[in-house]
Structure 1
């Protein structure tokens, strides 16, 4: 199974073909337009399911599945958390997926990683429904931790680890949080302002089947978005 998360920086209808060559099973696409505006090229594999949520028809969070994978938004979804979506994935493998775009201007006191922290508490019981994956744009890194603040990046990572859920990138490459060698985001698309903001966290039963993790390069993706895709494959 292959999961790709990529903040497409809008107009995904003109960019979807860039991911099709990877033969994804599930896409997590922050800053994606409403599905009514989406287009896939003739001859490409068509999506099996799409779940989208957002207040702006040009810029929301889309979860897209292919093949036998079906998506169901859980009744537990808290609309106040906007674009952190708890989803039941059924098909060749059944699991709980949290699609993440940590961005809520309406909640200024808990922007970005604060949204994920709130979601971990709101959906605490769902996180026990192994297997579990959380994937998307977390808009955060431990380098920006505010030590006295509950809900910084490191405490989110620690809370997930306590439930046996860890970052596939850090597990695969052996890096510590904040010491990533691959940037997933370039501020203002400047190559000299790289950060790692996009993640795929997975529970232990996924981690043991982890095959590969790859991050797209700046040179290949900067013309399309300020983010690069994170591509994760499991057996």
Structure 2
């Protein structure tokens, strides 16, 4: 199974073919336009299902399934947490809960980025289990920006997830420390000299045991499409 998250920086219809060639089973695409605007013409591989969330039809959060995987929004979804979306994914003898993440809610004066994830992690606590759980997307956060007096910073989110038996695939696979990542996922203004690691895929222990690889996209290639590069996570069947 292959999970890919990529903030496409809008206009996904013009970029979809490139990420589709990576043969994902499930895609998490922040800053994607509404499906009504998506036309996958002259693309050999077509999605089997698309879920989309957002108020702006030009810039929302899409979850896209391939290869007969099916997506269902969980009844417990709380739209107050924008955009952290709980989804049940089934297919090919797999079942897991996917929390698709685009940590971006300018209307929340208490914190519009990682604070959104912190609130959602606490709200969905009993659905974050040590088995069959994935959180993937653009968290808009890194330990380098931790504010010590704020409870819901990046490090406290990571710690809370680890207490639940859920770990960052990138950090586990590449043996990295939070805040000292060697492979950036975002480049401010697409500038190679302004790199940050903002995009993550966290998984429960059972999936971590099946983790095969975690690949971070190359800056030189992906900057023609977005200021983010994809995070590509593979699991053994």
Q: Could you say whether these structures have the same fold, taking a TM-score greater than 0.5 normalized by the shorter chain as the test?
A: yes
What runs of 5+ residues in structure 2 fail to find an aligned partner?
Answer: none
1:221, distance to aligned residue in structure 2 (A): 0.7
What runs of 5+ residues in structure 1 fail to find an aligned partner?
Answer: none
Cα deviation, 1:195-230, whole Å, max 9, x if unaligned, reads 000000000010000000000111011111010000
1:232, distance to aligned residue in structure 2 (A): 0.3
1:110, distance to aligned residue in structure 2 (A): 1.8
C-alpha distance in structure 1 between counterparts of 2:19 and 2:39, whole Å: 13
C-alpha distance in structure 2 between counterparts of 1:112 and 1:44, whole Å: 36
1:43, distance to aligned residue in structure 2 (A): 4.3
- Is the Cα contact below 8 Å between 2:130 and 2:205 reproduced in 1? no
C-alpha distance in structure 1 between counterparts of 2:176 and 2:130, whole Å: 27
> Equivalent residues in 2 for 1:56-205 (5 A)?
56-92=56-92, 93-128=94-129, 130-205=131-206
In structure 2, relative to structure 1, the CA distance for the partners of 1:178 and 1:129 (3 Å cut) is closer
> Equivalent residues in 2 for 1:45-60 (5 A)?
45-60=45-60
1:42, distance to aligned residue in structure 2 (A): 2.4
- Is the Cα contact below 8 Å between 1:96 and 1:130 reproduced in 2? no
The answer on 1:28 being equivalent to 2:34 is no
In structure 2, relative to structure 1, the CA distance for the partners of 1:39 and 1:129 (3 Å cut) is farther
- How many residue pairs are counted as aligned between the two chains? 235
Kindly report structure 1 stretches of 4+ aligned residues shifted beyond 6 Å: none
1:111, distance to aligned residue in structure 2 (A): 1.2
Instruction: Tell me the TM-score normalised to structure 2 length.
Output: 0.97
RMSD over aligned CA atoms reads 0.9
1:22, distance to aligned residue in structure 2 (A): 1.2
1:82, distance to aligned residue in structure 2 (A): 2.2
